[in-house]
């Protein structure tokens, strides 16, 4: 989709973010489902922490030390598969907050995509 002339980079980035939101939804739901499971440790995506740190440094530095690693010139690819890390005991309030935030973000991106497609449809219709 990213190489297509009709769909710009913005749509690809929104698609990737929606995929991350879906994964985050599954992780949060798993935490909530296991809230009463003895010994269960809550999990979260480490993507946001890593991205935030790289933005604060204003540089995403990647080193390729093995041929099977992702190439340093493709940091977007690295961000598509975040690591799921354990964070300790499940806190119901925190998980509900994460769930709400994730849901709001998902709905916001979907509304932006709808606006983008509406503008494209309008441009196509007026160009005919």
- pTM to 2 decimal places: 0.67
User: Is residue 64 a contact partner of residue 72, using CB atoms and an 8 Å limit?
Assistant: yes
Mean pLDDT of the chain: 80
Per-residue pLDDT averaged across 97-113, rounded? 96
Could you tell me the residue ranges of all domains in the chain? 1-37+91-128
For the segment 42-79, what is each residue's pLDDT rounded down to a tens digit?
999 886 666 666 666 655 555 667 777 656 555 555 55
pLDDT tops 90 at residue 98: yes
Q: What is the pLDDT of residue 85?
A: 84
User: Is residue 44 a contact partner of residue 84, using CB atoms and an 8 Å limit?
Assistant: yes
Where does the pLDDT of residue 38 fall: very low under 50, low under 70, confident under 90, or very high at 90 and above?
A: very high
Residue 47 corresponds to which tokens in the numbers above? 């993507």
CA pair distance 62, 72, nearest whole angstrom: 5
Nearest to 35 by CA among 102, 76, 92: 92
């Amino acid at each position: 989709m990213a190489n297509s002339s009709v769909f710009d980079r913005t749509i690809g980035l929104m698609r990737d973010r929606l995929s991350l939101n879906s994964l985050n939804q599954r992780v949060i739901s798993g935490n909530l489902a296991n809230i009463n499971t003895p010994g269960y440790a809550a999990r979260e995506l480490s993507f946001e922490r890593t991205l935030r740190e790289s933005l604060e440094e204003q540089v995403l530095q990647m080193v390729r030390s093995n041929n099977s690693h992702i190439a340093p010139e493709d940091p977007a690819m690295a961000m598509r598969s975040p690591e799921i890390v354990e964070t300790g005991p499940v806190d119901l309030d925190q998980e509900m907050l994460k769930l709400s935030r994730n849901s709001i973000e998902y709905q916001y991106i979907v509304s932006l995509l709808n606006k983008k497609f509406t503008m494209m449809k309008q441009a196509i219709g007026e160009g005919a």
